[in-house]
Amino acid sequence: MDFLQFNPETDYKLLLAVPLIPVLGYVLQIFFGKQLKRGDILLTAGMFTSMCIALLMFAKALNAAYAGEVFLHESVKEWGGWGWLYQSEPGVNLVAGIFYDPLGAAMLAVVTVVSFCVHLFSTGYMHGDCRYRIFFANISLFTFAMLGLVLSDNLLFLFIFWELMGLMSYLLIGHFSHDAKSGFRGWATWASQKAFMTTRVGDVCLLVGMLMFHQHFETFQFTELWSAAAETVAANGGQYPAWMTVAGLFVFGGTIGKSAQFPLHIWLPDAMAGPTPVSAMIHAATMVAAGVFLLGRTYPLMSPMALEVITVVGATTALFAATIGLTSWDLKAVLAYSTISQLGFMVTAVGLGSVTAGMFHMTTHAFFKACLFLSAGSVIHGCHHEQDMRLMGGLRKKMPITFICMFVCTLAIAGIPLFSGFYSKDKIIMAGFERVLDHDHFSGAALYGLVALAIAAALTAFYMFRLIFLTFFGEYRGDQQEHRYSGMLDEHGRGGHIVYHDHDDHDDHGGNAHVPHESPKNITIPLMVLAFLGVFGGHFWLASSDPLANHSKPWFATMVSESTLYGDEISGWLSPEPHGHEALEHLEHLEHTAHLSAVGTSLTVALLGVFGAWLLYYRRRDIPAKVVAAVGPLYPLVANKYYIDELVTRYVIRPTLALCRALKWVDEKVVDGVVLGVGRLNRTAATVHAWFDGMFVDGLVNGVGHLTQAFGSIVRLIQTGRIQQYLSFAVAGSILLAAWLILS
Amino acid sequence: MPLEAYVAVSAALFVIGIACMLSRRNVLYVLMGIEMILNAANINFVAFNRFSGDGLDGRMFAIFVIILAAAEAAVALAILLNVYHLFRSVKPSDADLLRE
Amino acid sequence: MEPASRVFYTLVTLASLLALGWGAFSAGAPGVSFALFAILTLGGGLMCIWERSVVRSAFSLMATFLGVAGLFLLLGADFLAMAQVLIYVGGILALILFGVMLSPPDLNERSLPRVLGGLAFAGGAAIWLGLRISASVTWATAEELPPMTSHAEEIGVGFLSPEQYVVPFELAAVLLTVALVAAVYIARRRSIDLFPEEDA
């Protein structure tokens, strides 16, 4: 099929149009939003166009992958780039171009689909908001930043879009900070600042790492960086130089900030202070995906030691966030911590050496997490902006569409077979088994990662089904207000009793304001689209009709693997092909064992988690309270998110403020004290000397004064204040000077 | 014509400019005198450039002097308007606040 | 015409005729053209000083500027001559005339002794210094004057080439911008008022 071939002449223009349409929408909405009236529809339509183009380009990439062709396209080589800071000296040139590879193709499709769904969802969910126009403009620019980041062919431009995304997340999380009616205005302001400042720590790390690589390799282009890394390692006798580990870890610092890894994860749960569509964007397609995407782009630069650190950080994050998810009562907070946990999965996968698995999980996760967040938004919308799960329950019958969407996506995230999450998560666990079972590549970090991920996967299934049982099963508890204060609230009272102010024109419910209801169509349609992708995103377009037999090679693995990501040369260097019959057999055996173990583990932990949730939150509802009592201080520890926020407040923010206060004190007491003391001393001395002055000095001073006055009146004769007179003096002076120069 | 002729004309124009600045009691004459002085300098620049062989420096300098003169005239006129507004007069001798 | 003016203009005419004769005598046609432009330049300047009316002074200044432009032409600087006409005659003179229009007429401000004294003082000094200099200095001039060609393109290249004048050129652009903004800022009527009671 000809039209599925990549054509550099036209396709780069199409690719360019994908990010440019949202940015055009942004400009229109910002400058002509008032005249446009229905700018939201225009922007959603623009996003739809953008999505269609992205899907067409995605089809080309997929076609190439199934034909077994290499699909690495760099506009700098094939079509042209945009020179920037262009100089004749080599090493300083910066040429920005488009880099379109299978990973980029997948990301582009995911981002545009999710963004389109979020746009559509927002037309219903945000209706009546006082900053509706600005919201749409911002969310478009947010999408633009992510698309630009995906298409960048060099680290510097990736960084620029990265920063733009940080800014847009700041603006969007703080959306309600200008809404006087909103109940959490202060929280939104605080959360947006927190997100901005926390990710900034990571951004600085990324900048440092980026510059270290540039200093040694003198380029920002990804392809050149990869081959430079391969050459450097080859020249170093197969060993990574130490600076590469350090620089790689700095780059990973960017991922820690943006993808909310431990210990910089604290901004993500608070990011839900923004409107729910923004949360869906941040958690699924944009912010957090950017960090993992960066890891995918820079994977060949990471030394084994850096990869071990990445594994440990990712696995820790996955496990630790999952435990917090167990105890939270806020619907969105559970989802937020599950995002952190799933991001931990992706990062661990990269650390274990399986970029494919990590990126695959990012893709499937984007769909089902966006669906979960939007469903949560629908639930919150239906329950009149109530977020406490203890005040929900029994919504299955009242909101059937939302229930079905959320349920299938929960199945996906819990890792039930046939749903997309199973395939990706299974691949990650399989990567872990491959590392652990293989004696040559065994490392403690890999074992730790595997165990932590298995536990985290069980916990994921548990807390997600807990959410489903609490929200959709049982009796509706929305009218039992006393529940609200019976449970445990965190120290700010957040997560417990946030009551979002109902919109004035929110009138699509009946007479009784307390009866939850199904949401309108423009809310449910994006849900259904995303739920469909959440279910089938993992295995559509399979090579064989039996999904179970073939599940280790779904479309994503066909399309994105090390050889398609980085080209044959680099991937050959990263993981050399085994030679000889024995080695091949060993590898095959290993893969087989890992595969079986992974499937077994995934299934076991998922079912265990689901069963646990069913038992504790559906069958025997008295058990959770007993468990809480039994574990003693452990529960408050987890429920308060391991006091990380408090630790940061105590050991980072407070010392800073204390330092400021101390400096202020020094300024006020010591510096001002010295000044004031000198002043007082002077006053005393002055009083003492006053009479002396009056008696003796005055006479002298007056005398001097008279003298000065007399002298001044003489000098004043020439100080007339008339500029022309001064001018004639100047001319005369110059003539005299010239005469002296000539005559002497 | 020899270089000396140009330099003489330039010197004469310079002197006339100085006299113009000194002898009249209107700020505008000061402005006109400055323009004459700058023109005199320009004649010198161009003449020396011409008579010292090839090169552009003198002419370039003259161009920058013209640019400067334009900027100066604009600012000077603005100052003149302000002076008139403040003192109700355009005589430089009346603007003698520096004396106080 | 007052008697003093009659004497003044007679003297100027006589000096012009002398200069013309001297030019024709010493260098023929080029000498005549040089003398014409020099007369235009200096005569304009003298008339500027002499005339009572500011408007007349300003217009006589036009003669000076045109004369200088002519001298530039004789020196082979055609671009500069055009720039002179455009900027001085078209721009600066117009500004001065605006100044004239915006300030009060004051016809009796010329004082004959001051004009003559200023001319005598400055001119005497200049002539004396000139004589001293011409007695002691010889200027190194080129052996053979280069042919007169149009240099407009050369100047344009000079402005834009980094090896030559691009930095001064940019600086001049900045200067002009700053000066125009400053002029607008200064000229706008403001609240600083030294004599507020007069405004009331």
- Gap between the Cα atoms of A522 and A185, Å rounded: 27
A644-653 as b/e, with b when 16 or more CB fall inside 10 Å? bbeebeeeee
pLDDT band of residue A74 (cuts 50, 70, 90) is confident
CA dihedral A205, A209, A215, A221 (to 10 degrees): -120
Q: Which amino acid is at A31?
A: F
C19-46 mean pLDDT: 90
Q: For residue A663, is pLDDT > 90?
A: no
**C16, part of any domain:** yes
* Unique residue bearing structure tokens 């225009």: A42
Residues of C in contact with A742 (CB under 8 A): 129, 132-133, 136
Question: What single DSSP character describes residue A152?
Answer: B
**Of A47-61, A347-361, A367-381, B85-99, minimum mean pLDDT range:** B85-99
What whole-number distance in Å separates Cα of residue A542 and Cα of residue A547?
A: 7
Average pLDDT rounded to a whole number, residues A109-126? 87
Q: How confident is the model at residue C71 (pLDDT cuts 50, 70, 90)?
A: very high
Residues belonging to chain B: 100
Q: Using pLDDT thresholds of 50, 70 and 90, give the confidence band for residue A407.
A: confident
Residue contact C122–A742, C-beta within 8 A: no
Q: Which pLDDT tens digit goes with each residue over A331-355?
A: 888 888 899 999 999 999 988 888 8
Per-residue confidence band for A715, with pLDDT thresholds at 50, 70 and 90? confident
Six token digits for residue B29? 């004459």
Query: Is the pLDDT assigned to residue A548 strictly greater than 60?
Result: no
Query: Average pLDDT over chain A, rounded to whole?
Result: 80
What confidence score (pLDDT) does residue A720 get?
Answer: 67
A509: pLDDT strictly greater than 50: no
Q: How far is CA C166 from CA A325, C159, C171, C172, C175, in A?
A: 64, 5, 9, 10, 14
Predicted local confidence at residue A496, as pLDDT: 38
Share of chain C above pLDDT 70, in %: 88
Residue A725 burial class via C-beta count within 10 angstroms: exposed 0-12, middle 13-18, buried 19 and up:
middle
Token couple for A355: 């970029």
Angstrom distance (rounded) from CA A454 to CA C22: 110
> pLDDT grade, residue C140 (50/70/90)?
low
Residue C129, domain member (yes or no): no
For the ranges A78-92, A214-228, A402-416, A547-561, the lowest mean pLDDT is seen at: A547-561
Distance from CA of B94 to the nearest CA of A (A): 7
- The residues, any chain, with a CB within 8 Å of residue C78's CB and separated by 6 or more, are C72, C150, C151, C152
Chain B closest-CA separation from residue C88 CA (Å): 8
Taking CB atoms and an 8 Å cutoff, what residues of chain C touch B27?
Answer: 103
DSSP for C164-175, please give it: TTHHHHHHHHHH
Q: Is the pLDDT of residue A504 over 50?
A: no
Tens of pLDDT, residues A200-213: 888 999 999 998 88
Half-sphere exposure of residue B83, counting CA atoms within 13 Å on the CB side?
21
Q: Which residue has better confidence, A422 or A546?
A: A422
pLDDT score, position A490: 36
Q: How far is A706 from chain B (nearest CA, A)?
A: 19
Confidence of residue C66 (pLDDT cuts 50, 70, 90): very high
Binary contact (B73, C96; C-beta < 8 A): yes
> Does the structure show a pLDDT above 80 at A137?
yes
Scanning A694-733 for CB atoms below 8 A from C yields 731
Q: How many domains does chain C have?
A: 1
**pLDDT at residue number A592:** 79
Q: pLDDT tens digits, residue range A20-51?
A: 999 998 888 888 877 777 778 888 899 999 99
Q: What is the pTM of this model?
A: 0.62
Question: Looking at the predicted structure, is the pLDDT value of residue A325 above 90?
Answer: no
Which residue of B18, B22, B98 is in closest CB contact with A721?
A: B98
Q: For position B13, what pLDDT does the model report?
A: 92
Indicate the residue of B22, B54, B81 with minimum beta-carbon distance to C146: B54
Q: What is the pLDDT of residue A147?
A: 92
A contact chains, 3+ CB pairs < 8 A: B, C
Higher per-residue pLDDT: C171 or A539: C171
ipTM score of complex: 0.88
Please check the confidence at residue A242 and state whether its pLDDT lies above 90.
no
List the CATH number of the domain containing C181: 1.20.120
Domains of chain B: 3-93 (1.10.287.3510)
The verdict on residue C131 lying in a domain is: no
Distance, in Å, from the CA atom of A533 to the CA atom of A528, rounded to the nearest integer, reads: 9
Separation CA A289–CA A363 (nearest Å) = 9
Contact between A198 and A264 under an 8 Å Cβ cutoff? The reply is yes
- The domain containing residue C182 runs over which residues? 3-103+149-192
What is the C-alpha to C-alpha distance for residues C6 and B28, in angstroms, rounded to an integer?
25
> Would you place residue A487 in the very low, low, confident or very high pLDDT band (cuts 50, 70, 90)?
very low
Whether the CB-CB separation of B84 and C102 falls below 8 Å is answered with yes
pLDDT band, very low/low/confident/very high, at A508 (cuts 50, 70, 90) = very low
Per residue in C105-139, pLDDT tens? Answer: 765 567 777 778 878 877 887 788 778 777 777 77
Helix A581-614 to helix A444-472 angle, to the nearest 10 degrees?
30
Contact status of C31 with chain B (Cβ, < 8 Å): yes
pLDDT band for A552, please (50, 70, 90 cuts). very low
Report the Cα A690 to chain-centroid distance in Å: 70
- What are the tokens at A521? 């169509």
What tokens appear for A129 in the block? 């908001």
**Which residues, including other chains, have CB under 8 Å from residue A570's CB and lie 6 or more apart?**
A226, A227, A230, A300, A562
Contact C129 A739 (CB under 8 A): yes
- Within 8 A of C136 by CB-CB distance, chain A residues are 742
Average pLDDT of the residues in A235-249: 87
Per-residue pLDDT at A353: 82
pLDDT attached to residue A184: 67
